[in-house]
Amino acid sequence: MENCILKVALDTPLDFCFDYVWAVEESTVRPLAGQLVLVPFGRREVVGLIVAVHETSEVPLDKLKQAIAVRTQLTPLSAEWIALCTFAADYYQRPLGEVAIPGLPKNLRALKTTSLDKAIKKLGKAGAVHDATPIAMPQLNPAQQEAADAIASATGFAPTLLYGVTGSGKTEVYLQAAAQILAHSSDEHNPAQILILVPEINLTPQLEANVRARFPDVAIATLHSGLAEGERMMHWLAAHLGQARIILGTRLAILSSLPHLKLIIVDEEHDPSYKQQEGLRYSARDLAVWRAHQLNIPIVLGSATPSLETWHHAQSGRYRKLELRERAVRDAVLPKVGLIDLERKAPREQMTEGVSATLIAALKLRMERGEQSLLFLNRRGYAPVIACDSCRWISNCTRCSAFLVLHKLDKRLRCHHCGYEQRIPRSCPTCGNVDLQPLGRGTQRVEENLQAIFPEARILRIDADSTRRKGSAQAAFDTVHRGEVDILIGTQMVAKGHDFQNLTLVGVMNPDTALFSHDYRASERLFAQLMQVAGRAGRVAQKEGGSASEVLIQTRYSQHPLYAAVRTHDYDTFASELLEERQQACFPPFMYQALLRAEAKELKIALDFLHQAIDCVEHGGITMNDPIPMTMTRVANVDRAQLLVECASRPALQAFLKVWIATLREMKSRVRWSLEVDPVDI
């Protein structure tokens, strides 16, 4: 054999592999599938992935270019890993290279190999040593023990829903199941790796500290978007080379190379953050299930409020359901949930800047007792809009169908969609009125108001604005854990996962808007969010002379069935009812969907393109809905429209999408379009 042909996946929008020649005679290197390779592409040189090595090509040999160099330093990526990327590419209708390549650390994709050669040497020497104070595993309660044993002893593909109320000690179950699996595979011939996914980057330090303390002798890798390139490379390599036994990460970690993967855990599996919302719009949870299936290993999906998809599978018996009904810490109980009825006539609720007298009294009580409170408001900034009373001018973003949000602290108006910002105008740009009014409330305003009400209180706001600097979120949470905060104000960032020890009150400011959203998933999400944020309270037993833990929700719709379910912590009934509604309305999980989006300078062009898209293929058996403008139609001077396609059969939808997308690609329209499979925001 003189030459061989490398089938190479490249990070380009072109949906095929490229053939390159490798002159075998001239080199001692025999390229293998799974190796990275440097190749010429147009006028550039790029790094691609060898997907297969063939003897011949359909392209005449003299038309093919020579590959430049094979990255032999790196152990080839496994066939399983390539299969995972291939599946994701097929399922989400993207080119393989766009799935496989961008997820690799930058240094691996770099043209020069110096940093790679360095990193590999360093890893060889250092392993992944760390210094944590070891902590013994606590004694599990019987329900936890049963769950941990069931997970650790499962063989083959065994999807399990770990359905446990907030504070029931799910993390402990994961860790002890992991310990059992690691103990069984301690010999070098049968090593095990365990992947633990968490939804929020801010939850990784807490979990990491926990895991390090429990497994002082085990190498751990973390993978999330907050790592510097060098760190990311080390962690990725430790996982790829099989050195790291426990891998913690956010959604992107699902695409990492894990040659000895034996167990996958998806914590808070219902969380929307598992869905990537741009580029390759994958669901890390769904890919995790596929990966477990492909490897024939167990997977645990943990949640207090499982997604309806997962709940449906558990009800139908496809997934096993393990339950933890009680909080793990002795005598800790779920908080009492109360509604503050803002519509009540007598006695009418006295409001101070959006905070009710009842809530203020509850906050005051906590302050007096030295306990912490959390106020949850899912809207950052000072006020969502400023307006002029005399001419009705309102702070619209000129580039988006959105308001400019008032950020009082840095004296700016900001669009949260396109990033546009300007100084706060001194007077109305239309009529000159100097008395511009902020309308509505964001976290900054609530912070300011509460400080006025409680001048002595130590108030801390945690949201995307207050935690922009690297490490600042962690520092903020540490302050809370050290007890240096009386009242914590925050967005959904603070609602998830955190184990606050001295928090006995959660106030929810204005959740009502989500009750009447056009998005049929809004109530599922609101319910999960309320249960999650409620779950931050009462995580330890009530202290003597201390307060019982309590959640107070301010609402104008106190009779709404969703709140009734939140009050009784009754996810089962709520989920069953929602599932029934979904079935009747033919919504997911009883229907499979894909969303084609189009963007253009004018709405009409985008809509025309979508109409064309309907007409360009045969679509029997597939429901093609009418193209419509997106709810947020204009973003950054671009109009956006969408077309929802549906089918009761996933394979039928997949088969259709394949043909459809190929046809759309050939249309070579100048309209920018993208496809989302299993969309969540529609």
What Cα–Cα distance (Å) separates residue 343 from each residue in 349, 350, 358, 550?
Answer: 8, 11, 14, 21
With beta carbons less than 8 A apart as the criterion, state whether 204 and 166 touch: no
**Options 276, 401, 433, 612; binder of Zn ion; rule CB under 5 A:** 433
Tell me: does residue 328 bind ligand ADP (CB under 6 A): yes
- Terminal-to-terminal C-alpha distance of the chain: 54
458 binds, among ligand ADP, Zn ion, none (CB under 5 to 8 A by kind): none
Tell me: does residue 164 bind ligand ADP (CB under 6 A): yes
Tell me: does residue 166 bind ligand ADP (CB under 6 A): yes
For residues 131 and 417, what is the distance between their CA atoms, to the nearest angstrom?
A: 42
Stretch that binds ligand ADP, among 132-140, 445-453, 555-563, 569-577 (CB under 6 A): 132-140
Smallest distance from the beta carbon of 171 to ligand ADP, in angstroms? 3
| 666 burial type by CB count under 10 A (0-12 exposed, 13-18 middle, 19+ buried) | exposed
Residue at shortest CB range from ligand ADP: 169
Smallest distance from the beta carbon of 51 to ligand ADP, in angstroms? 40
Tell me: does residue 172 bind ligand ADP (CB under 6 A): yes
Beta bridge pairs of residue 164: 324
Tell me: does residue 177 bind ligand ADP (CB under 6 A): no
Residue with Cβ nearer ligand ADP (93 or 141): 141
The single-letter DSSP state of residue 187 is S
For residues 50 and 70, what is the distance between their CA atoms, to the nearest angstrom?
A: 9
Annotation-wise, does 85 bind a ligand?
Answer: no
**Number of chain residues interacting with ligand ADP (CB under 6 A):** 17
168 binds, among Zn ion, ligand ADP, none (CB under 5 to 8 A by kind): ligand ADP
- Which residues contact residue 204 at a Cβ distance below 8 angstroms, ignoring those fewer than 6 apart? 198, 222, 224, 226, 248, 249, 250
Cis peptide upstream of residue 589 (ω within 30 degrees of 0)? yes
**Options 37, 74, 101, 140; binder of ligand ADP; rule CB under 6 A:** 140
Tell me: does residue 399 bind Zn ion (CB under 5 A): yes
Annotation-wise, does 616 bind a ligand?
Answer: no
Tell me: does residue 138 bind ligand ADP (CB under 6 A): yes
Residue with Cβ nearer ligand ADP (326 or 646): 326
172 binds, among Zn ion, ligand ADP, none (CB under 5 to 8 A by kind): ligand ADP
> Whose CA is closest to 406, among 431, 432, 380?
380
**Options 120, 197, 374, 397; binder of Zn ion; rule CB under 5 A:** 397
Q: What is the layout of strands, in order, in the sheet containing 550-555?
A: 336-341, 550-555, 503-508, 372-376, 487-490, 459-462
Smallest distance from the beta carbon of 246 to ligand ADP, in angstroms? 16
Residue with Cβ nearer ligand ADP (170 or 285): 170
For residues 134 and 296, what is the distance between their CA atoms, to the nearest angstrom?
A: 33
- Residue carrying structure tokens 């001018």: 393
Stretch that binds ligand ADP, among 112-120, 163-171, 438-446, 674-682 (CB under 6 A): 163-171
Tell me: does residue 388 bind Zn ion (CB under 5 A): yes
* Concatenated DSSP letters of 398-439: SSSSSBPEEETTTTEEE-TTT--EEEPPSS-TTT--S-EEEE
For residues 260 and 191, what is the distance between their CA atoms, to the nearest angstrom?
A: 6
298 binds, among Zn ion, ligand ADP, none (CB under 5 to 8 A by kind): none
**Which structure tokens are listed for 214?**
């429990």
Tell me: does residue 205 bind ligand ADP (CB under 6 A): no
With beta carbons less than 8 A apart as the criterion, state whether 407 and 444 touch: yes
What Cα–Cα distance (Å) separates residue 245 from each residue in 121, 201, 459?
Answer: 19, 20, 40
Annotation-wise, does 647 bind a ligand?
Answer: no
Smallest distance from the beta carbon of 144 to ligand ADP, in angstroms? 6
Interaction residues for Zn ion, span 550-589 (CB under 5 A): none
x/- contact string, 530-549, with ligand ADP (CB under 6 A)? ---------x----------
**Options 48, 159, 169, 381; binder of ligand ADP; rule CB under 6 A:** 169
**Options 148, 195, 329, 476; binder of ligand ADP; rule CB under 6 A:** 329
Interaction residues for ligand ADP, span 562-621 (CB under 6 A): none
Tell me: does residue 430 bind Zn ion (CB under 5 A): yes
Tell me: does residue 529 bind ligand ADP (CB under 6 A): no
- Which residues contact residue 252 at a Cβ distance below 8 angstroms, ignoring those fewer than 6 apart? 103, 223, 224, 225, 276, 284
167 binds, among Zn ion, ligand ADP, none (CB under 5 to 8 A by kind): ligand ADP
For residues 495 and 329, what is the distance between their CA atoms, to the nearest angstrom?
A: 20
144 binds, among Zn ion, ligand ADP, none (CB under 5 to 8 A by kind): ligand ADP
Interaction residues for ligand ADP, span 468-507 (CB under 6 A): 499
What Cα–Cα distance (Å) separates residue 61 from each residue in 39, 58, 572?
Answer: 16, 9, 63
Stretch that binds ligand ADP, among 162-170, 381-389, 398-406, 656-664 (CB under 6 A): 162-170
Smallest distance from the beta carbon of 301 to ligand ADP, in angstroms? 13
Tell me: does residue 303 bind ligand ADP (CB under 6 A): no
Alpha helices in 127-186 (DSSP H): 142-153, 170-184
| 414 burial type by CB count under 10 A (0-12 exposed, 13-18 middle, 19+ buried) | buried
What Cα–Cα distance (Å) separates residue 620 from each residue in 602, 646, 652, 656?
Answer: 30, 11, 10, 9
Cα Rg of the chain, angstroms:
27
Where on the chain is the footprint of Zn ion (CB under 5 A)?
A: 388, 391, 393, 397, 399-400, 415, 417-418, 420, 428, 430-431, 433
Binding residues: 388, 391, 397, 400, 415, 418, 428, 431
Binding residues for Zn(2+): 388, 391, 397, 400, 415, 418, 428, 431
Where on the chain is the footprint of ligand ADP (CB under 6 A)?
A: 138-141, 144, 164, 166-172, 328-329, 499, 539
